[in-house]
Amino acid sequence: QKEVEQNSGPLSVPEGAIASLNCTYSDRVSQSFFWYRQYSGKSPELIMSIYSNGDKEDGRFTAQLNKASQYVSLLIRDSQPSDSATYLCAVNFGNDMRFGAGTRLTVKP
């Protein structure tokens, strides 16, 4: 069974703090991993992709991948109220994209 699991949250952090979002997946034959952001009432939008073990940084966002532990995370530094959204982890199982349930993040001013 292919599964992608996330802490459903909600996660609340103060403005300026680091938000840490976590995701685990159940199938080892997975080569690509994604984080999507979804604002309420909107469609998911891609914010990060990662393909190899280690860290990938893009502005205030850092994705971390550990294939041995089947674990992928997203760190948001200097969190802003505009980062308040649901964050979806997605894993591509050979062109079969599966999403986690999402973690709702609230950044409080």
Partner 1 sequence: DAGVIQSPRHEVTEMGQEVTLRCKPISGHNSLFWYRQTMMRGLELLIYFNNNVPIDDSGMPEDRFSAKMPNASFSTLKIQPSEPRDSAVYFCASTMGDTQYFGPGTRLTVL
- Beta strand 61-66 with 71-76 is antiparallel
Residue 101 found at the interface with partner 1 (CB under 8 A): yes
**Contact stretch for partner 1 (CB under 8 A) within 20-28, 62-70, 74-82, 98-106:** 98-106
Q: Which of 25, 34, 35, 87 binds partner 1 (CB under 8 A)?
A: 34
User: Per residue, what are the HEC states of 13-58?
Assistant: EECCCCEEEEEEECCCCCCEEEEEEECCCCCCEEEEEECCCEEEEE
**Contact stretch for partner 1 (CB under 8 A) within 16-24, 57-65, 67-75, 99-107:** 99-107
Whether the CB-CB separation of 50 and 65 falls below 8 Å is answered with yes
Q: Which of 44, 73, 79, 105 binds partner 1 (CB under 8 A)?
A: 44
Q: Which of 22, 49, 70, 106 binds partner 1 (CB under 8 A)?
A: 49
Q: Which residues pair with residue 72 across a beta bridge?
A: 23, 65
Q: Which residues bind partner 1 (CB under 8 A)?
A: 32, 34, 42-46, 49, 88, 90, 92, 95-102
